[in-house]
Amino acid sequence: MIVLVDVGNTRIKLGWIRVQTGGRERTALTLAHGDVGLISAWIKELDPTPTCAVGVNVAGATMASTIDAVFQRDFKFKVRWVCGQPEMAGVRNAYNKPDQLGADRWASMIGLAPYARSGPVMLASFGTATTVDTLAPDGDEGLTFHGGLIFPGPALMRSSLVAGTANLPAADGPTAPYPTHTHQAITSGIAAAQAGAVLRQWREGFERFGRAPRVFSSGGGWPIVEAEAQRLLYRAQGDLGLPKEEIRWVATPVLDGLARVAVEGRGVHVT
């Protein structure tokens, strides 16, 4: 058994994979950064006892060292931290400097690989930052990550308005085409900005690949954006005479990618 570790900007997610079977956890464990000490108790409940760990970390070197110390103390091994590379697990990285690609984005693209065998796909991940990335077949029986966008996530957009203005509130509530009060104007503006970026990349993908990418979503900020993003995508699909296709939710794309990395070269099929 191999432990999978996704250290994000505000949360840690943990999963596992059984190498012989490709079996995975049913539900990932989610912890706040301050709850690193709970990792050991969770691992000790696993059967069989894990022999190694694979992870990504975007929360800085101190957090990586703290987690490594827990694993080293209680299980006698450290986490193998994955970073952006030119190629891994059948996915090529089009970044001009592959090691500058965020490890979480790279792992997510590897995790999305099974969906991209038949055509281009996009992953819009709504966390502290929002990222919108595209993966597509490259004509050589492989897949290529083509790059993507990074911008403030929904919660960060909201908090920046509160921090940077004198009179705007920490707004919450439903969106509207023509907002008629400040809370509605802010929530609609945030959703429109997030959804508009997704639609922009969808149109770029349609132009580049000659077919519309399938869109996947993840991240805790998705409920804020979901209705607006789906509404705009349905409208664009209708304008182009394309069948309506829903945005599909993926719960743990980073862990999915780490699972594939963990068994790379072992001939195990990961679902």
Residues labelled as active-site residues = 104
Neighbours of 139 (CB within 10 A): 7
Residues 6+ apart with CB under 8 A from 181: none
Backbone angles phi, psi at 214, to 5 degrees: -75, 140
Backbone angles phi, psi at 19, to 5 degrees: -60, -40
Whole-Å CA distances, 35 to 13, 26, 76, 79, 138: 11, 21, 20, 17, 42
Nearest to 88 by CA among 101, 105, 107: 107
Give the residues across from 87 on adjacent strands. 92
Neighbours of 37 (CB within 10 A): 10
